[in-house]
Amino acid sequence: MEKTRFLKKPKVESYVDYSLIFIILFLLAFGLVMLYSTSSYEANLDYGDSAYYFKHQLVPTLIGLALMIVMSYFPYGLLKKLAFPIYIGAAVLLLLLIPFGREINHAKRWIFIMGISIQPAEVAKFAVIVFTATIIVTLKRKLLDPKGYLTTLGFPALLALMVYGITKNLSSAIIIMGIAVVMLFISTPGYKKYVIAALSVLALATVIVLIVAHSANSSGMNYRFKRILVWLDPAAYASEKGFQTIQALYAIGSGGIFGKGLGESMQKMGFIPEAQNDMIFSIICEELGLFGAIAVMLMFMLLIWRLMIIANNAPDMFGALLVIGVMGHIAIQVVLNIAVVTNTIPNTGITLPFISYGGSAVIMQLAEIGMALNVAKNIG
C-alpha cells in the first residue's frame, strides 16, 4: 500500500501534427523567397531598397508564427465564450474605417495604429469562423428550422455586408459568406438545398454575364460589370483594365514547363502592377514553370487534406467546426486567386494565402492554423 502512494501517473502525450507544421513553414519560406524575387525590381525603383517588401512581410510573418504558437496552446474551448466579443471587435474595427481608414490605391481598407497597418476584413474572417462555430454548436437541432438556419447565416451576412459597404471589397465579403456556408454545409443534413442554391447562383451569374456581354453601351457601366467584359475579351481592353490580366497570362505562358529560373521574370519589371499581391502566382509560373505551379498547388492540397484529417478526428463538434472554417477559408481563397490569375473568373483582388504580400492576412491566417493545431493536440 505504501508503494502505490508514490507511483507516478502515466504521462498523457498530446498529438502534434508535424506534417501541417512543415507545410506551413514551407509555404511561408517559399512565399518570402518569391515575394523578394517578385517585388525587388519595383521596390528598388520606388524605395531604393530591393528588399523593402521582403522586410515588411518578414516582421508580420514572425508575429504570425508567434501568434500561431500561442493559439496552439490556448484552450480552443474558451473561444466559445469569447466568440461574441471577437465578433463585436471585428465589427468595431470595420466601423473605425469610416472616420480613421486610410485610402491606398483608391481603396479605404486599412487602419494605421502607431505606424502598424490593420486590415479589418482579415480580422472579420477569423471572427466569422469562431462565431459561426459557436452558433452552430449552440443551436444544434434548431438549425433544421428555417429560423435557426437563417439566424446562423445572418451574423456572417452582416459582417460581409459591412465589409462590402465600408471597404467596397467584394472578394472579402464573398469569402466571409463562403466560410459560413461551408461550415453550415458540413454541419446540416441534406445536400439538395445547397445544390439548388449553387445552381441558382450560377444561373443568376450566367444571366448577368449574358446581359453585360450583349450590352450596346458600356461607357456608363458599373466598374464591376466592366470587369466581366474584360474577362470575356481581355485583348479588347489591353491598354486599360485588361492590361494586368494579359500580362499575367503572358507570364504564365512564357514560363513553360520548368520556368525561366528564380529571379528571371520579365513581367515583374513593371508590366504586372503590384505583382507581389494577388498576381504573384503568375510570377511563380513564369520563374518556376508548370512544375513550380503544380508543386505549390499540391502543397495547398496537402494542407487542406491535413486540416480535413484533424476535423474528422476532433474531440468535439466545436473543434471540428473551427478546423472546417479554417479549411474553407484557405480553400476558397486559393481557388479564387488561381482562377483570377488564369482568367477563369473576372479579376478581383484576392491574395494567395501565406505567399502574397500582406501583413494582416498572414498574421490572421497563422492564428487560424494555430487554432487548428490546438484542436489537433486534443485528439486522443
| Per-residue pLDDT of the chain in tens (380 residues, 90 and over written 9) | 444 454 555 555 567 888 999 999 999 999 999 999 999 999 998 888 899 999 999 999 999 999 999 999 999 999 999 999 999 999 999 999 888 877 776 677 888 776 677 899 999 999 999 999 999 999 888 887 888 888 889 999 999 999 998 888 889 999 999 999 999 999 888 778 788 888 898 898 888 888 887 776 666 666 777 788 888 888 888 777 888 889 999 999 999 999 999 988 899 887 888 889 889 999 999 999 999 999 999 999 999 999 999 999 999 999 999 999 999 999 999 999 999 999 998 888 889 999 999 889 999 999 999 999 999 998 86
The angle subtended at Cα 106 by Cα 169 and Cα 101, nearest 5°, is 70
What single letter denotes the amino acid at residue 109?
R
| CA–CA gap between residue 133 and residue 143 (Å, rounded) | 12
Plot region of 343 (φ>0 → left; ψ -120 to 50 → alpha; else → beta) = left
User: Residue 1's pLDDT is what?
Assistant: 45
3-class SS letters over 320-380 = HHHHHHHHHHHHHHHHHHHHHHCCCCCCCCCCCCCCCCCHHHHHHHHHHHHHHHHHHHCCC
Domain segments of the chain as ranges: 29-73+222-380, 77-189, 191-216
Q: What is the DSSP letter of 94?
A: H
Residues constituting the chain: 380
Starting at the edge strand found earlier in the chain, the sheet holding 102-104 runs 102-104, 107-113, 116-118
Give SS3 for 130. helix
Strand ranges (E), 106-193: 107-113, 116-118
User: Residue 345's pLDDT is what?
Assistant: 87
Q: Are 17 and 310 a contacting pair, CB within 8 Å? A: yes
Q: Give the number of other CB atoms < 10 A from CB of residue 207.
A: 10
**Residue 318 backbone dihedrals phi, psi, to 5 degrees:** -65, -45
Q: Give the number of other CB atoms < 10 A from CB of residue 90.
A: 25
User: Residue 314's pLDDT is what?
Assistant: 92
Q: What is the dihedral of CA 281, 283, 285, 291, to 10 degrees?
A: -90
| CA–CA gap between residue 217 and residue 204 (Å, rounded) | 21
Measured CA to CA in angstroms, residue 322 lies from 132, 334, 347 at distances of 9, 19, 30
Look-up of cell digits 454541419 = 187
